[in-house]
Amino acid sequence: MGKGAAYIYGKNSLLERLKANPESIRKIFLQENFKDPSVLDAIRKSGVAVKHVSERELGRIKRAERLQGIAAEVDRFEYAPFEELLDVSAGSSKSLIFLDNINDPHNLGSMLRVAACFGGFAIVLPRHSSCDVNDTVMHVASGGENFVSVAVVGNISNALRKAKDCGYWIVGTVVEGGQDLDSVTLPFPLCLVLGSEGKGIRHGIDKQLDCKVTLPMRGAELSFNVAMACAIFCHEISRQRKG
Looking at per-residue confidence, does 129 or 78 come out higher?
A: 78
pLDDT digits (tens, 9 = 90+) for 50-61: 999 999 999 999
Q: How far apart are CA 222 and CA 90, in angstroms?
A: 40
Looking at per-residue confidence, does 224 or 68 come out higher?
A: 68
Domains detected in the chain: 5-75 (3.30.1330.30), 82-242 (3.40.1280.10)
Given a cut of 60, whether residue 2 has pLDDT beyond it is: no
Lowest mean pLDDT among 17-31, 211-225, 229-243: 211-225
* Average pLDDT of the segment spanning 191-218: 89
Question: What are the backbone dihedrals phi and psi of residue 178, each rounded to the nearest 5 degrees, phi first?
Answer: -95, 180
CA distances from 57 to 1, 32, 48, 52, 136 (A): 14, 10, 20, 9, 20
3-state SS, residue 94: coil
Element containing residue 28 per DSSP (H, E): strand 25-31
Q: How far apart are CA 59 and CA 67, in angstroms?
A: 8
CA distances from 177 to 62, 120, 181, 199 (A): 45, 28, 11, 15
pLDDT digits (tens, 9 = 90+) for 144-185: 999 999 999 999 999 999 999 999 999 999 988 999 999 999
pTM exceeds 0.85, yes or no: yes
The answer to whether 98 and 191 are in contact (CB under 8 A) is: yes
3-state SS, residue 227: helix
Q: Are strands 95-99 and 179-180 parallel, antiparallel or unpaired?
A: unpaired
Tell me the pLDDT of the chain averaged across its residues.
93
The answer to whether 85 and 14 are in contact (CB under 8 A) is: no
- CA Rg value for the chain: 20
Q: How far apart are CA 43 and CA 19, in angstroms?
A: 10
Distance of CA 224 to the CA centre of its chain: 18
The answer to whether 61 and 71 are in contact (CB under 8 A) is: yes
